Amino acid sequence: MVIYGVALLAGCMLVGLIIGDVLGQLLGISANLGGVGIAMLLLIFVTGYLKDRGKLPEATESGINFWNAMYIPIVVAMAASQNVAAAFSGGMVAIVAGVLAVALGLALVPVLTGKKGDDARPLDPPASATMPPSRATTSDRS
């Protein structure tokens, strides 16, 4: 059933967030330390385990895939509720500091990535020029 997939996703999220919270408390910070990242790892392991045993029917999968496909629309909604006005009204100090932080961060990506070996192969080129295959179907549907 579809709800099994959604519930599995929700369960991973809650367990991950709880672990992240505990980690944060252990380190004495009030923030959640990587709860979402832990939840992602949990989902990878749990679905991998279930799939190997053939216990992940298509309907269950579609419960997870729906939220996967809703990712970009949710990000668009997130962009639309950002405090863009405050970012621009902050003055030059804020703009220069933000720009410099992003520029340095982006510039360091190739430095840390290093020489591209076999393990840093680009993903296969998407089927269409503009969209990766999994997303192409999503956008057509939306």
Residues 4-33 that bind other proteins (CB under 8 A): 9-10, 12-13, 16, 20, 22-33
CB contact at 8 A, 64 and 7: no
Asked if 1 touches other proteins (CB under 8 A), the answer is no
Residue 14 CB, shortest distance to other proteins, in Å, is: 10
Instruction: Give residues 30-69 in contact with other proteins (rule: CB under 8 A).
Output: 30-37, 39-41, 43-45, 47-48, 61, 64-68
Residue 73 CA to residue 58 CA, distance in Å, equals 23
| CB 125 to other proteins: min, Å | 9
For residue 21, the minimal CB distance to other proteins (Å) is 10
CB of 53 to other proteins, least distance (A): 17
Measured between alpha carbons, how far is residue 138 from residues 80, 104, 108 in Å?
20, 34, 33
Residues 116-135 that bind other proteins (CB under 8 A): 116, 119-123, 126, 128-132, 134-135
Restricting to residues 68-107, name those near other proteins by CB under 8 A: 68, 70-102, 104-107
Contacts 24+ apart (CB under 8 A), 68-72: 68/134, 69/134, 69/135, 69/137, 69/138, 69/141, 72/135, 72/138, 72/139
Asked if 66 and 9 touch (Cβ cutoff 8 Å), the reply is no
Tokens of 92: 């030059």
